[in-house]
Structure 1
Amino acid sequence: MIRKLIFILGIALSTAVLAQEPENNSNREIVFKMVNVVPMDKETVLSGQTVVVKNGRITSLGADAAVRYGKDALVIDAKGKYLVPGWSEMHAHVPAIDELGPMKDVLMLYLANGITTIRGMLGNAKHLELRTKVRSGEILGPNFYTTGPAFSGQTVTTAERGIEMVKEEKAAGYDYLKLLPGLTKETFPGIAKTSAQLGIPMVGHVSFAVGVWAAIDAGYSSIDHLDGFVEAITPGTDTLAEQETGLFGTWIAYAADTTRIPKLIKALKDKNIRVVPTQAIAERWLSPLPAEAYANDPDLKYMKPDEVKNWMNAKNSYTNNPKFTKERAEAFVNVRRKLILACQNGGVELLLGCDAPQVLNVPGFSTLHEMKYLTDAGLTPYQALRTGTVNVASYLKKTDTGVIKTGNVSDLVLLSGNPLTDIGQTRNIEGVMIGTKWLSKAYLQTELKKLEKR
């Protein structure tokens, strides 16, 4: 009986060790033994590889028999599993509040889903502190880039104020300027000119009064949500008020002229403007499906009940709008799919991003949905994976990320199946490597359990 109790206690202690806060293994080798590597520099799988990581870098990669490592290494038996570069979420939202606690919770939702880099799209001064603490290792989270407080019709009422805000956010140290709707032909030009002069890029929405052609000419760094795209290819939009077109053109997409798409794609390509589709918004919130279709979505347990209720109300408000029809909603989703595929085929770099937390989009989980929606638009799984790896590395000018090779940073995700043949395998995470820390599946599951709200 005593031996049995000792055995049970041993199992419990072993599980506890696996699930505890991961150690900083900066001076210790971590070895992924006999793993299938999806390097992402080309569409291939390198079978039976052993990958050695130390000090946040990949120090060795090759056939198992040819790779050497020390006796004190942490060896992870990865036989039959797949190692991919960590993914980036380029339209993330972290609470813009004065408390770090809720921010840390959101960062863990991203990490637990293999997201090792995020761009926060609605920031405040506390996000600058968060960025510093993440970079120093004091807070566990994805590599963090942040915009400042948003430029909108409410915050920018004069051209002079817009210029001042750009200067303030550049001086404060934000990475990007977040543009929201409501800017005008009077307020936008000064923001764009000062952004270019000071070298702090504009990202986000395209205001209706500005339009996508002016946004392209102004040299947006990335246009998110395909904002302004539907309006640009729909005849007669210039005769309508903004509220008549609907969010992202929901009420007019059925009348879009897809022969106008090539002109738009060429303009984006010529200006090297990246596109963050956030297709998850269209496929979930603005889809033809009723709110009840999402009532049992397992992702929602990570959101507070009040927030889920608000999301369901927003979904119902959309489907109950007099302008809503199932056919028009389907047309809206399909036009966006065509735009996404045209970007891919036309050489416009797509960046992975889904806008969460947002209606029916839970941080981290929705990014994995987004990859599936990209394949629904016609991208191959490899192309969808590139939007969150190789393309982001190019965008950030980080030559040591986005690809698994010797010398690159060790932001990695271990999967149980091959995502090149089934993009749904991105959900089957066996562990995440962020810098010098290995987050085991047991640890991630324990952390997710803590974050359940219902």
Structure 2
Amino acid sequence: MKNFFFTLFISLLSGAFVTLTAQELVSNGQREIVFKSVNVIPMDQERVIENQTVVVKNGRITALGDDAKVKFNKDALVINAKGKYLTPGWAEIHAHVPPIDDIEPMKEVLILYLVNGITTIRGMLGHPKHLELRSKINSGAILGPHFYTTGPSFNGQTVKNAERGAEMVREQKAAGYDYLKLHPGLTKETFPAIAKTAHEVGIPFVGHVSFNVGVWRAIDAKYSTIDHMDGFVEALTPGIDTLVEQETGLFGSWIGARAETTLIPKLMEGLRKNNIRVVATQALAERWLSPLPAEEYTDDPEMKYMKPEQVQGWTNTKNTYLSNPNFSKVGAEKLIQIRRKLIYECQKNGVELLLGSDAPQIFNVPGFSIHHEMKYMVDAGLTPYQTLRTGTVNVASYLNKTDSGTIKTGNVSDLVLLSGNPLKDINQTRNIEGVMIGTNWLSKDYLANELKKLEKK
């Protein structure tokens, strides 16, 4: 099943694409943008600062304070935000952008992320065209979240020997990718060559942990992030060395009931000591690997932004999982519970979690799936504040962006305006009144109009 995962990758989001011009954006330029009478969630600690005025100009927060004290230009765009909540924009650290030669369909995915308040993404299946996309986003030629990209996949098909693995690392570093993406199929011979060369040339490696490598070697090799918590269940399963990969299933789906929770402290210690971040992508597991039927998700409102054949493909994949002879309802429920416990234990033990959901993937629509991910993290035992940190403060720390992740004077103006307080109810992240990305204010009406263009049915 793991080999199936990296061949599944992504079904490309083609079809109609979004064309954006400066004229369609509200206040795309030098003008001050003012959020008046807003409740600020600064994310420096768990608190709300009420009735504030926040002034933004040239992509930066230039002033923040009590309504009566903050001055701004008379020609500023003033947004009446009374009763609303301003939070830093979120990140999707396991995102996908179509890995194709045509840059135009990529814009559609970028808009899906932006309308959901996601102002930073890490693309997890790279393509040479993504380097051009990153450059055009940075220059302002294309509207989109800040974009970090891995290179093309390292897996059992692309890396046949250690020499080729090392060569691919050097090629991707020279090309300018931000990260290396590891997929299943690497071996005890190819993986060390990849890891050693990556450390030598200074490019982080992220993603899956191949079954024949195992999480302990991955930890010792100092992955930058382990995504999907791949290899965790296997590491908690006594006798794993007597099993072959086909017996364990995707992310340990067939052996979740055998995981020993007494082994979790050792796993957490290894991750923490080696400063390895974890991207849980729990939305992928909860929606694909849970015992719930496909019909539980096919009528979700966001499915209208995917082609019907894409949703049908996801349904077929889900049904294939449910009909596998190794599947059992009890086993699937235990898998979800052990994954939730692992998320909670990461938070409890100082293993830094980064927000990521993996979309487009089984019933995960780009942008929308990050709200499911946050809800699942709260279900796992995190507070809403701790959950919000995984997509703001933790990501800023990971990316070494000292001017991001919190709301304060001088920081970048990547912001989301919400109608309700997400510290009280994490579902309020869905109630978006507008998104600020750089110098661009995307109002609620603008976002609704863009979403309307993206409907597939």
Q: Give the TM-score, by structure 2 length.
A: 0.95
Task: Give how far 1:306 is off.
Answer: 1.1
Distance across 2 between alignment mates of 1:36 and 1:256: 44
Secondary structure in 2 matching 1:244: helix
2:367 corresponding residue in structure 1: 364
Task: Give how far 1:25 is off.
Answer: 3.3
Q: Which residue of 107, 114, 117 maps to 2:117?
A: 114
* Correspondence 1:155-166 to 2 at 5 A: 155-166=158-169
Distance across 1 between alignment mates of 2:24 and 2:241: 56
Distance across 1 between alignment mates of 2:285 and 2:151: 26
Secondary structure in 2 matching 1:130: helix
Question: Where do 5+ consecutive residues of structure 2 fail to align?
Answer: 1-21
2:296 corresponding residue in structure 1: 293
2:4 corresponding residue in structure 1: none
Q: What is the letter of the counterpart of residue 268 of structure 1?
A: L
2:206 corresponding residue in structure 1: 203
Q: Which residue of 401, 406, 410 maps to 1:407?
A: 410
1:25–1:55 Cα contact (<8 Å) kept: no
1:178 corresponding residue in structure 2: 181
Distance across 2 between alignment mates of 1:297 and 1:426: 17
Moved more, 79-88 or 286-295: 286-295
Q: What is the letter of the counterpart of residue 329 of structure 1?
A: A
Task: Give how far 1:24 is off.
Answer: 5.3
1:305 corresponding residue in structure 2: 308
Distance across 2 between alignment mates of 1:356 and 1:75: 35
Q: Give the TM-score, by structure 1 length.
A: 0.95
Superposition CA RMSD, Å = 0.9
Q: Which residue of 334, 337, 340 maps to 1:334?
A: 337
Aligned positions, number:
436
Distance across 2 between alignment mates of 1:286 and 1:312: 12
Task: Give how far 1:23 is off.
Answer: 4.3
Q: Which residue of 372, 391, 395 maps to 1:392?
A: 395
* Correspondence 1:148-297 to 2 at 5 A: 148-297=151-300
Distance across 2 between alignment mates of 1:367 and 1:20: 29
Q: Which residue of 421, 424, 427 maps to 1:421?
A: 424
1:101 corresponding residue in structure 2: 104
Q: Could you give the per-residue CA deviations for residues 158-186 of structure 1, whole angstroms, max 9, x where no partner exists? A: 10000000000000000000000000001
1:92–1:355 Cα contact (<8 Å) kept: yes
Distance across 2 between alignment mates of 1:25 and 1:290: 45
1:26–1:56 Cα contact (<8 Å) kept: no
1:20–1:443 Cα contact (<8 Å) kept: no
Relative to structure 1, is the Cα distance of residues 23 and 137 closer, same or farther in structure 2, using a 3 angstrom cutoff? farther
Task: Give how far 1:20 is off.
Answer: 6.7
Q: Could you give the per-residue CA deviations for residues 344-398 of structure 1, whole angstroms, max 9, x where no partner exists? A: 0000000000000001000000011100000000000000000000000000000
Q: Which residue of 25, 28, 41 maps to 2:28?
A: 25
Secondary structure in 1 matching 2:186: coil
Secondary structure in 2 matching 1:53: strand
2:437 corresponding residue in structure 1: 434
Residue 53 in structure 1 maps to residue 61 in structure 2: no
Q: Could you give the per-residue CA deviations for residues 103-143 of structure 1, whole angstroms, max 9, x where no partner exists? A: 00000000000000000000111000000000000000000
Structure whose CA Rg is larger: 1
1:96–1:126 Cα contact (<8 Å) kept: yes
Distance across 2 between alignment mates of 1:295 and 1:340: 26
Distance across 1 between alignment mates of 2:29 and 2:201: 36
2:27–2:77 Cα contact (<8 Å) kept: no
Distance across 2 between alignment mates of 1:143 and 1:403: 16
Q: Which residue of 310, 316, 319 maps to 1:316?
A: 319
Distance across 2 between alignment mates of 1:369 and 1:27: 36
Task: Give how far 1:313 is off.
Answer: 0.1
Q: What is the letter of the counterpart of residue 109 of structure 1?
A: L
Secondary structure in 2 matching 1:407: coil
2:26–2:443 Cα contact (<8 Å) kept: no
2:422–2:428 Cα contact (<8 Å) kept: yes
2:286–2:336 Cα contact (<8 Å) kept: yes
Q: What is the letter of the counterpart of residue 400 of structure 2?
A: K
* Correspondence 1:371-390 to 2 at 5 A: 371-390=374-393
Task: Give how far 1:325 is off.
Answer: 1.2
Percent identical residues: 73
Distance across 1 between alignment mates of 2:282 and 2:104: 29
Consecutive aligned runs of 4 or more in structure 1 exceeding 4 Å deviation: none
Distance across 2 between alignment mates of 1:231 and 1:240: 10
Distance across 1 between alignment mates of 2:103 and 2:95: 16
Secondary structure in 2 matching 1:337: helix
Q: Could you give the per-residue CA deviations for residues 276-328 of structure 1, whole angstroms, max 9, x where no partner exists? A: 00000111111110112222111111111111111000000011111111111
Q: Could you give the per-residue CA deviations for residues 216-257 of structure 1, whole angstroms, max 9, x where no partner exists? A: 000100000000000000111111110110000000000110
Q: Could you give the per-residue CA deviations for residues 23-64 of structure 1, whole angstroms, max 9, x where no partner exists? A: 453311000000000000000000000000001000000000
Secondary structure in 2 matching 1:48: strand
Q: Could you give the per-residue CA deviations for residues 74-99 of structure 1, whole angstroms, max 9, x where no partner exists? A: 00000000000000000000000011
Residue 67 in structure 1 maps to residue 70 in structure 2: yes
